[in-house]
Structure 1
């Protein structure tokens, strides 16, 4: 479990595609990662498979993760948002994030709004029902607030508006964002549980 508060930017040292899976080597900046520990990499929960030296970690990326996230698009030198798993004493400054990516979104527009930055993203329509104005969403592992949510369009996607404060912009991979950049999306898991619990009462 994570909070969506990015702790640092990692850097890809090597990525080896082996069959349908991949081995990802990263400079993490963490000196004490334990074997088997969970780390969110651009919002996807990965397990530390090896850490032979300070600030280095190796992750195994399964075919499922490659198919559902943008991790397969990383290359040597790419930056990635990193967050270690939360403990019971962690402050929940963001929201509950599992590191289980629900879909991939695309940045359509980036607009400066004073010192902040406004993003408009296009997301797959099948997660629309979990998104509400002023609710929470994780974008590449970053806990953000939904400012606007538009209805799905003919292209099978819907749009959300996000406001990014200066710190979040400079401390995460959003600083490298461009129109057409793809990002990992995780909706608030609480909305999924509410939907499942209500289903028996909503059937005609």
Structure 2
């Protein structure tokens, strides 16, 4: 199997995080992560994405009328509980009766729980890669800011800065979103014009320390699209 293929690495990482990669294939990928930066970065990206999706789904407690329907369909029986443990046949039957009643309640709750449609908040992400298909920066769009993480494959220049830009549909001039981190994670405030549906492209430029001197990209290094999930 060609582990130099970034597309394959991304697919395996996604299955690994989802739990659908099993058996010897999962063991091989686990060993691969110990030595492959690509595998670790891809796995981290999918973990971030899926965790954000999971956290955006709120649990919905059952309404009071659901419990009323459950009670109306179950013949409640009062099971006396003695203060001292009793291992007689009668107490064993009572215990099993209690378990059966609890199981009925759970089953009825599942059956009668109204199927409400939960609105899942869309996720917006972007991933910049180099020519070798190695991840360099991962961008996760939040409500108020952009969470940007520099990958370990990034070898930044100390005499330059890296600046993030967005190109809006119908506009020629790129809009600066701020300087990127050279390591670790950085939060950038979301630009007032930032609208995922209006962004045609994201770009990274190489700039003098402190950023672009004239409000335009000096040397564009990488481009990518903003992905809406």
Decide: shared fold, TM above 0.5: no
Give the TM bin, normalised by the shorter chain: under 0.3
Name the structure where strand makes up a greater proportion of residues.
1
Name the structure where helix makes up a greater proportion of residues.
2
Q: Which structure is larger by alpha-carbon Rg, 1 or 2?
A: 2
TM-score normalised to structure 2 length: 0.23
